[in-house]
A = this chain, B = another copy of it.
Amino acid sequence: MNSWGDKFRLTIWGESHGTQVGVSIDGVPAGIKLDEEDFATDLDRRRAGAAGTTPRKESDSPRIVSGLYNGFTTGSPLTIEFQNENTRSGDYSNLTIHPRPSHADWVAQQKYDGYNDPRGGGHFSGRITLGMVAAGVVAKKILGESVNFSTDIVEIGGQTDKTQWATIIDRAHHEQDSVGGIIECRVSGIEAGLGEPFFDSVESLAAHLLFAVPAVKGVEFGAGFAAAKMKGSEHNDPIINATGATLTNHAGGIVGGITNGNEIVARIAIKPTASISQAQQTFNFASGKIDELIIKGRHDVCITLRAAVVAEAALAIALADLKLRA
């Protein structure tokens, strides 16, 4: 299922080494001012190049091919495409006989009878998230300027002290290894009343999108897993004024699946990149025994760095969809 959403509906397509990846967004209201420049900041945050990220460089220039006229959205689908430029040809047939551990290689082959495009992960590539980041930019425009997103990485390689991260990443790089991390997104200025119980709680929609992002293995809101250790008398957030503001915010801005106007807080656990350069012992389906696998190519040591803006986009998309429903 490559479409998602009720009112703000995105459809994504493309493969890592195909001609292009894209997203089409249906349900964007007419009359939103939009420019290809508007995507630059968030696309930059997702781009490779920094320490800990893959050396594969792409210009990632968005091309809006439908739904925009005279600088404003038209109300018909907004389609945004990105060329795949920096693809290296290579022999990917090995992946079918010696699938990479914790990668989609083997399950994709099972599911699609071997017809999936294996090059660079194909449709399972993180490159697909370009479309989500682009859709996130549009979603933020729908939410309006009073809604602010603030996304931070709060942990890398088990370490919450940011001053140590460069060292951690550098060491992992030299050890041909990778590290995970935790992202925290905060959204302020959101109105109370968004969310459509029973099934479409804010948490449900946000988690649905977040768990679609490759490498996400945990999602929590407000106090999250820590809430399980609290007493009701500690965890409950007393309302303190007529706007619904609360003294504490253990709920992370969501009560009964609905926004209560306080800051939304979500934390997302990112596993360490599965592609590592060091040798791994894993099953070889040709030889029928466990064998050493060396994964070649360019890898992110810490994909958390680039995933932060994707997580933020996921949250923005969920909220925009709910806002358009309200």
Contact = CB atoms under 8 A, between A and B. Distances in A.
Interface of A: 1-4, 6-7, 9, 11-15, 18-22, 24, 26-27, 30-31, 65-67, 69, 72-79, 99, 101-104, 106-108, 110-113, 115-117, 119, 122-124, 128, 155, 157-158, 172, 175, 177-182, 192-193, 195-201, 203-205, 207-212, 214, 216-225, 227-242, 244, 246, 250-252, 255-260, 269-276, 278, 280-283, 285, 288, 290, 304, 325-326
* Number of copies of chain A assembled together: 4
Nearest to A272: B232
A101 B231 contact: no
Nearest to A259: B107
Nearest to A284: B239
Nearest to A131: B198
B199 A2 contact: yes
A287 B185 CA distance: 35
Nearest to A221: B217
21 contacts: A2-B24, A3-B11, A11-B11, A15-B66, A101-B238, A107-B195, A107-B256, A111-B258, A124-B197, A155-B228, A178-B231, A205-B208, A211-B257, A217-B222, A217-B228, A227-B269, A228-B269, A238-B283, A239-B283, A240-B282, A242-B283
A283 B240 contact: yes
Contact of A103 (B30, B192, B223, B255): B255
A159 B31 CA distance: 46
B102 A237 contact: yes
Given A104-B255, A237-B102, A244-B106, A1 B6 contact: yes
Nearest to A11: B11
Nearest to A282: B238
Contact of A102 (B103, B211, B255, B272): B255
Contacts of A65: 13-14, 18-20, 22
A204 B219 CA distance: 10
